[in-house]
Copies of this chain bind each other. A is one copy, B any other.
């Protein structure tokens, strides 16, 4: 089957501020069906960091997340600022959120938060030999705890609904696979 791109016959921004860029397109499929509005979000690209210490423990953050209305464990992450490479953003976010630095950053395959309705990309890194080098440098809206945990402890958090962030769960497994720490029995 040859898929055809939808034709966009009109496009407008519903929200376009510092926090969100939301576009509403009028689309026509190849078979002539009209979708109006079809919403697409256009955030800047994001970066995730799976930071291992020298004992292969993983650095998690913990903060209040207002969408879910509760405290969640997750990976260090953030927005790639204009002019930054993904690796520069990863280094900066790791340092700001946790005061940690890594010896080496290994890029993982890029992903999308949801290709149906997001235009941006997620760049993720596995960081090696991560250790504390300075204190956190948080925005005034941020309050972040951090801790190195064993993989079993991280899995317990995921299974117990304390680490619900699916995008970070994807990155975590990708980092394990790309470091050769996962084997699959099928």
The answer to whether B173 touches A169 (Cβ under 8 A) is yes
Quick one: closest B residue to A109, CB to CB? B159
Are the C-beta atoms of B166 and A111 separated by less than 8 Å? yes
Q: Name the residue of chain B whose CB is nearest to the CB of A168.
A: B170
**Interface size of A as a range:** 35 or more
Q: Which residues of chain B come closer than 8 Å to A184, judged between CB atoms? A: 151, 176, 181-182
A140 to B29, CA, bound (A): 10
User: Is A20 part of the contact surface with B, judged by Cβ < 8 Å?
Assistant: yes
Report the nearest B residue to A19, measured CB to CB.
B39
A33 & B140 in contact (Cβ 8 Å cutoff): yes
**Which A residues fall within an 8 A CB radius of B?**
1, 3-6, 14-15, 17, 19-20, 22, 25, 27, 29-31, 33, 35, 37-41, 56, 62-72, 74, 109-119, 121-122, 140-141, 143, 145, 150-151, 155, 158-159, 161, 164-167, 169-171, 173-174, 176-177, 180-186
Q: List 9 A-B contacts (CB under 8 A).
A: A20-B39, A35-B141, A67-B115, A68-B112, A72-B115, A109-B159, A113-B113, A113-B167, A170-B173
